[in-house]
Amino acid sequence: MTQASTELQELIAEMEQRRRKVEAGGGPQRQAKQREGGKLTARERIETLLDPGSFLELSTFVEHGRNRLMDSVEAPGEGVVTGRGTIHGRQVFVFSQDFTVLGGSLGKMNAAKVTKVMDLAAKTGCPVIGLNDSAGARIQEGVDSLSGYGEIFYRNAIYSGSVPQISAILGPCAGGAVYSPALTDFVVMSQGTSYMFITGPEVIKSVTREEVTFDGLGGADVHTRKSGVAHLSYEGDEAVLAGIRDLLTYLPQNAREEVPAQPCADPADRPNPRLLEIVTPDQRRPYDMHAVIGELVDEGSFLEIQPNWAKNMVCGFARLDGRSVGIVANNPKVMAGTLNIDASDKAARFIRTCDCYNIPILTLVDVTGFLPGVAQEHAGIIRHGAKMLYAYAEATVPKITLITRKSYGGAYLAMNSRDMGADVVYAWPTAAVAVMGAEGAANIVYRREIGKSENPEATRAAKIAEYRETFDNPYVAAAKGYIDDVIPMEDTRRRLVQTFEMLRGKEEARPYKKHGNIPL
């Protein structure tokens, strides 16, 4: 063996030894603790998320920013693993925080690894996925760690709507650390092993005397049912990562591209006779809008977003003849499908997500109106409802509205009527478009007549029937062109596929502006 090759071998051995040290993270004991807690390690998560063998690691040998408190501290890999890989053959960038290294805490160089992949994602037009498991700002690095967060938040905001950003929450997410996930498009939590909060139970106890557990304060249940902070949750890391792989099939690589179509075995012209059983003309008989959606979309393709929060509004992705669509629908089974603050926020956000990623929107309408109540008014239903109006009007993707039954008052407009920018509006024969329901309308318009009548109840019933006959149907709106067609229910899937096909390539310009000013 020559001198040169021995030297080279030594260099290679050093590289491998250094790499092995980085790959070992916080060491076997801390990794065992991680697994005992039902969690995968940072590298196992990446392997599980990406297509096999596709991971290319970057910034492997980055070390922490030195200071007096950190000089003697070892942090292999700087507490985060970063790089690129593919999911279903499409490139994504990923960072995976390593809780076994200083609790996955975020220092300046840890943040530099993260921002490196965020920048590459933006430059190459690819999604970025953050696997969060971190104790927050690295206390020993002081303001440097705060600055690191700032650099990440800044990129979360400026790349928002340019490339999809998805956050998995797979462990603690405390303090300011929750704001990076909150700035991304989707937050997906693991049940029982993750939590998100601004201030923890101990601080809360000392300030407000409230006693609460980590899970009760910011676990997956809280954020998918009460706060609306998280969009999806699954049991265990594997399920979360599989969920993210699935979610990506509905999204494009970036704002300039369309979502690739998937092969579809479900016939585009499949008739939908079951709809006639689900939706009856009796306006007071509730039905579950999920059943309608399931009947219309490609079999098994509906991925509901925020399924357990604001259940009166159903939002989710699906495919129609293999093409991704966003569905926004009232659910008459919950609170009669009325619009309240949470439902408005949920829908507005989802509409904007669809619009920025070129995903056409199907709106299914069965709504009596906004939820009346002092609490709603005082909490700002006007401001929140306005978000929906704004989001629909702003969206330039193809928009189809289908009125399945009631569409009354302000909610008629908030659910993307013709005037609010729907490209095509369909109604079923069961539809009723009016300012309000027949009972309410008759009581207001004919109050004097009913009051003076010898038999007020009979007069009231007659007036209600008269009003219903005149307005409680789709034909008044269809006659004025507000509805493009009243369609046979069993032929709906075929028509939706054809109409979205018709709208493909739609372009709509907006007047110059720096950006709009959506009511927040």
Taking the complex as a whole, the smallest distance from the CB of residue 136 to ligand HXC amounts, in Å, to 3
Residue 407, strand partner residues: 367, 433
Residue of 328, 324, 308 whose CA lies nearest to 316: 328
Query: Which residue number, 197 or 500, has a Cβ lying nearer to ligand HXC?
Result: 197
- Check if the beta carbon of residue 170 is closer than 8 Å to that of residue 42: no
Place of tokens 């539809």: 431
Taking the complex as a whole, the smallest distance from the CB of residue 241 to ligand HXC amounts, in Å, to 21
* Residue in 40, 102, 395, 478 binding ligand HXC, rule: CB under 6 A: 102
CA distance 98 to 45: 10
Query: Which residue number, 219 or 316, has a Cβ lying nearer to ligand HXC?
Result: 219
Taking the complex as a whole, the smallest distance from the CB of residue 309 to ligand HXC amounts, in Å, to 25
Taking the complex as a whole, the smallest distance from the CB of residue 67 to ligand HXC amounts, in Å, to 13
Query: Which residue number, 34 or 499, has a Cβ lying nearer to ligand HXC?
Result: 34
Query: Which residue number, 85 or 171, has a Cβ lying nearer to ligand HXC?
Result: 171
Active site residue 104: no
Residues 147-166 touching ligand HXC, rule: CB under 6 A, are 149
Query: Which residue number, 30 or 270, has a Cβ lying nearer to ligand HXC?
Result: 30
Active site residue 410: yes
Q: Which stretch binds ligand HXC (CB under 6 A): 82-90, 168-176, 234-242, 396-404?
A: 168-176
Taking the complex as a whole, the smallest distance from the CB of residue 240 to ligand HXC amounts, in Å, to 19
* Residue in 34, 41, 59, 105 binding ligand HXC, rule: CB under 6 A: 105
Site string for ligand HXC, 16-55 (x = CB under 6 A): --------------x-------------------------
CA distance 384 to 374: 15
Residue of 288, 325, 332, 279 whose CA lies nearest to 303: 325
Helix 492-503 and helix 289-296, axial crossing angle in degrees, nearest 10? 70
Residue number, nearest CB to ligand HXC: 176
Residue 108 buriedness (CB in 10 A; 0-12 / 13-18 / 19+): buried
Dihedral, CA of residue 189, residue 34, residue 80 and residue 119, to nearest 10: -20
* Residue in 174, 188, 400, 427 binding ligand HXC, rule: CB under 6 A: 174
Helix 341-356 and helix 381-394, axial crossing angle in degrees, nearest 10? 20
Longest Cα pair distance anywhere in the chain, in angstroms? 117
Dihedral, CA of residue 196, residue 49, residue 192 and residue 156, to nearest 10: 10
Taking the complex as a whole, the smallest distance from the CB of residue 235 to ligand HXC amounts, in Å, to 20
The token pair that represents 191 in the structure block:
């049940």
Count of beta carbons in the 10 Å neighbourhood of residue 115: 17
Query: Which residue number, 35 or 506, has a Cβ lying nearer to ligand HXC?
Result: 35
User: Which one of 125, 161, 176, 192 is the catalytic residue?
Assistant: 176
User: Which one of 142, 161, 200, 410 is the catalytic residue?
Assistant: 410
Which pairing describes strands 56-58 and 80-87: parallel, antiparallel, or unpaired? Answer: antiparallel
CA distance 46 to 41: 9
Residue of 406, 297, 414 whose CA lies nearest to 360: 297
Helix (H) or strand (E) holding 131: strand 128-134
Query: Which residue number, 236 or 260, has a Cβ lying nearer to ligand HXC?
Result: 236
Site string for ligand HXC, 110-149 (x = CB under 6 A): -------------------------xxxxxx-----x--x
Query: Which residue number, 35 or 447, has a Cβ lying nearer to ligand HXC?
Result: 35
Query: Which residue number, 177 or 351, has a Cβ lying nearer to ligand HXC?
Result: 177
CA distance 414 to 408: 10
CA distance 235 to 32: 20
Count of beta carbons in the 10 Å neighbourhood of residue 5: 9
- Binding residues for ligand HXC, how many (CB under 6 A)? 17
Sign of CA dihedral 308, 313, 317, 321: positive
Taking the complex as a whole, the smallest distance from the CB of residue 220 to ligand HXC amounts, in Å, to 16
User: Which one of 83, 175, 243, 437 is the catalytic residue?
Assistant: 175
Q: Which stretch binds ligand HXC (CB under 6 A): 116-124, 171-179, 393-401, 448-456?
A: 171-179
Taking the complex as a whole, the smallest distance from the CB of residue 105 to ligand HXC amounts, in Å, to 4
Query: Which residue number, 205 or 256, has a Cβ lying nearer to ligand HXC?
Result: 205
Write the CB contacts of 275 (distance below 8 Å, at least 6 apart in sequence): 292, 295, 428, 489, 490, 492
Active site residue 24: no
* Residue in 177, 248, 328, 362 binding ligand HXC, rule: CB under 6 A: 177
User: Which one of 230, 411, 432, 442 is the catalytic residue?
Assistant: 411
The token pair that represents 162 in the structure block:
């340019």
Taking the complex as a whole, the smallest distance from the CB of residue 30 to ligand HXC amounts, in Å, to 6
- Check if the beta carbon of residue 107 is closer than 8 Å to that of residue 134: no
Write the CB contacts of 458 (distance below 8 Å, at least 6 apart in sequence): none
* Residue in 85, 130, 164, 175 binding ligand HXC, rule: CB under 6 A: 175
**The Cα angle at residue 68 between residues 67 and 70, in degrees rounded to 5:** 65
Taking the complex as a whole, the smallest distance from the CB of residue 204 to ligand HXC amounts, in Å, to 13
* Residue in 172, 218, 326, 437 binding ligand HXC, rule: CB under 6 A: 172
Catalog residues that contact ligand HXC under the rule CB under 6 A.
30, 102-103, 105, 135-140, 146, 149, 172, 174-177
Catalogue the active-site residues.
175-176, 410-411
